[in-house]
Chains A and B, each alone.
Chain A
Amino acid sequence: MKHSELSPATSTTLSRRALLQILLSAPALSLAPLSLTTHDTQAMGLEHLSPATSLALVQVARLLFPHEGLADEIYLGVVKDIEADISTNEGLLHSVAETPILLNKAVARNWMQMSHDAQIEALAAIEDASVFGYLRNRTIESLYRNPAVWKLVGYEGSSIEYGGYLHRGFDDIDWLEDK
């Protein structure tokens, strides 16, 4: 075993690079374009985030953790959570609002109008920006605490009201060979 597999610092750098390579070499992805417009984000009536920034953040969330089976409305929830964070930490607004600007800079054009692959490439280019870590973490907490996402990935949430899994498949595995 190579030492690099075990050192957290080294392994994350390597795997990020490897991941980037996979992303860049992948054929054009088939995700549909956003079904939302700034009308939808405007309708949310957010106090801090503009409709355009909100829409860009929805797209960022969807590129970070793309699940084809999830409606854009689920990703809209990420923006609501970011807005809630900003209302208790106004300092966050500046760096979050900068995100579309950073992305536009990375492609020297309007990031929202770029191809899917180019959008991903730009996102990878801002990975080291401090806001990126925040957005990744917030997107994870927003998405993977959402029962709609649990359903999609097969996590069943609270079980005690159904009597746990003792009679509902805790030992139902059927693909292991017999001993």
Chain B
Amino acid sequence: MNKQFALTDNSVVVVIGSGAGGGVLANQLAQNGVDVVCLEAGRRLSPADVVNDETEMFGKLTWLDPRISSGQTVPGLPVWTCKTVGGTTMHWTASCPRLQEHEFRTDSLYGDIPDTNLQDWPFDLETLSPYYSLAEDRMGVTGTHNIPLLPGNNNYKVLEAGARKLGYTDIDTNHVAINSVARDGRPACVQSGFCTSGCVIQAKWSTLYTEIPQAERSGHFELRPESMVVRIGHNAQGRVDEVHYLDSEGTLRIQKARAVCVACNAVETSRLLLNSTSDRFPNGLANSSDQVGRNYMRHFIASVVGEMPGPVNLHRGAHQAGIIRDEAGHNPERGFAGGILMLTVPFAPEMFAKFLDPNGWGEDYASTLENYDHLAAMLIHGEDLAQQSNRITLHPTERDSYGLPVPIVHYEEHPNTRRMKEYALKCGKAIYRALNAKKVHAIVDMLPATHNMGTARMGNDPATSVCNPWGQTHDIANLFVCDGSLFPSVGCGNPTLTIVALALRQADYLTRQLQENIL
């Protein structure tokens, strides 16, 4: 049943990446009868490879090829993305908020904010809603399609109790793509913890064991793991027609293609487009606007930790099955544009030791760490605003082991984000203080960015955006982008559900274009 396509077969669509964007797009195309070759840089793990061990799984899942940190990024590891079949759906926490209506129209609603490059989405929430619903059903998102919410763990109960004391009301165990009941041939969550290390029992949705095998059963799909794409080539008409990649042996292969979809997460998508230069496209593919790699957005990662009066054992249970949405709206009276979400999060002792105070040591510090079972923690993220100067570029001389230019990830925080973060920390600390926390701590900007977006944004104007509303590049009709790079603005929530919804929408569009011989 596992189909194989010839390198010379120019009828296939090549999808680069097998995560939330690429895995879903490839599968949906295959279900629609389109032949797809999916090239994935990472290995394909077997179920036995996934274990309850953060250190071991970090090594197995993480994209560790060199990236250069610039500006306010974590030195050495500016982003935490995955290099494995399934991409970031392996280490994600499965939190699935939809974008809110106002988050599609930031340019119209947020006013003239200096040093930003805001742009509305080229469509609204209503347009995307049917695809959100399809995505939620496909991924088994709790609290949708009659799927019950997960039960709350101790860390959630602390968050909820503190939040209610402050008058917050929009609190629950979150919409998560983690089975609360057996569904889709996968079991219900047993609250083992370790969401970010891959889910051993596969209760958490990941393309590795949902979309990919389903695509393989269609007879229209071939996955090639350990295939690192180095450039995309085009013909004399300026249409992309081949994808150059290094196979597991390091041998250069060239796969012919009818259309190409780039779904590699913002950093790698930018690098691939920027690196695929030619006489015709000296600044890289689809980059006539000079917007490829720009408007790089992420969510700040601010964690508030409370030393609580009793045991919490925050490591027990699903990581982000707990959320407060009361601060998610756009309410300029707070002193900033956009909103924030507060979610439960656990850390293992090593992470607290490293980051609770990044220079901490000594008796007092060790005693806080020894109090590990009394710690409660939340993660807060908030909307980031597009800035042209935040961008992914290629280092002029540094090369990685593939011979590719090392990407530089540059990010500087906008004053709006700084004000938002101050407010967010105040809210978070108040929650634990309301329950008589002995001490509260903040871990701010210590962890690499996991939500990476904006670097090939959609829009109606080819002068200010890279892709049209379908994720099709303005410059090259048979070249598509299918990941967080597409987001013109990022809202305050985790991006994966939106990436999946966009992938499903793109799959419909691309299938029609192929069937009608437009492409």
Contacts and interface: CB of A to CB of B under 8 A. Distances in A.
Contact of A155 (B152, B348, B359): B348
A165 B353 contact: no
Residue in B52, B153, B363, B371 with the greatest tally of chain A CB atoms within 10 Å: B363
Contacts of A3: 422
Contacts of A160: 51-52, 190, 192, 194, 200-201
A163 interface: yes
Interface residues of B, number: 58
A159 B52 contact: yes
Contacts of A172: 154, 313
Interface stretch (A16-24, A49-57, A84-92): A16-24
B193 interface: yes
Contact of B348 (A66, A127, A144, A179): A144
Contact of B191 (A15, A26, A164, A177): A164
Contact of B349 (A1, A155, A171): A155
Interface stretch (A5-13, A72-80, A104-112): A5-13
A16 B357 CA distance: 9
B218 to A, nearest CB: 31
Interface string B425-463: 110000000010000001011100000000000000000
B63 interface: no
Contacts of A144: 348-350, 353, 369
A168 to B, nearest CB: 8
A153 B369 contact: yes
B153 A170 contact: yes
A93 interface: no
A150 interface: yes
Residue in B158, B311, B313, B445 with the greatest tally of chain A CB atoms within 10 Å: B313
A136 B446 CA distance: 16
A8 B74 CA distance: 12
A10 to B, nearest CB: 12
Contact of B359 (A6, A15, A141, A174): A15
Nearest to A29: B363
Contact of A179 (B53, B161, B435): B161
Interface in B71-87: none
Interface residues of A, number: 54
Contacts of A158: 51-53, 194
Residue in A65, A67, A166, A170 with the greatest tally of chain B CB atoms within 10 Å: A170
B372 A65 contact: no
Contacts of A136: 359, 361
Contacts of B153: 165, 170-171
A145 B193 CA distance: 16
Nearest to B355: A140
Interface string B361-372: 111111001111
Contacts of B164: 179
A175 B310 contact: yes
A173 B357 contact: no
Contact of B364 (A22, A137, A174, A176): A22
A19 B441 CA distance: 14
Interface in B175-205: 189-194, 200-201
A53 B312 CA distance: 40
Given A140-B354, A165-B192, A171 B151 contact: yes
B190 A164 contact: yes
B422 A127 contact: no
Contacts of A179: 161, 164
Contact of B372 (A26, A140, A153): A153
A8 B369 contact: no
A144 B53 CA distance: 13
A152 interface: yes
Given A6-B418, A136-B361, 16 more contacts: A12-B357, A65-B366, A67-B370, A136-B359, A144-B369, A145-B55, A149-B349, A159-B52, A159-B192, A160-B201, A164-B189, A164-B193, A166-B189, A172-B313, A176-B158, A179-B161
17 contacts: A8-B358, A12-B357, A29-B363, A63-B362, A66-B363, A120-B362, A144-B348, A154-B311, A156-B316, A165-B153, A165-B190, A169-B316, A170-B317, A173-B154, A173-B157, A173-B312, A175-B311
Interface of B: 51-53, 55, 151-154, 157-158, 161, 164, 189-194, 200-201, 309-313, 315-317, 348-350, 353-354, 357-366, 369-373, 418, 421-422, 425-426, 435, 442, 444-446
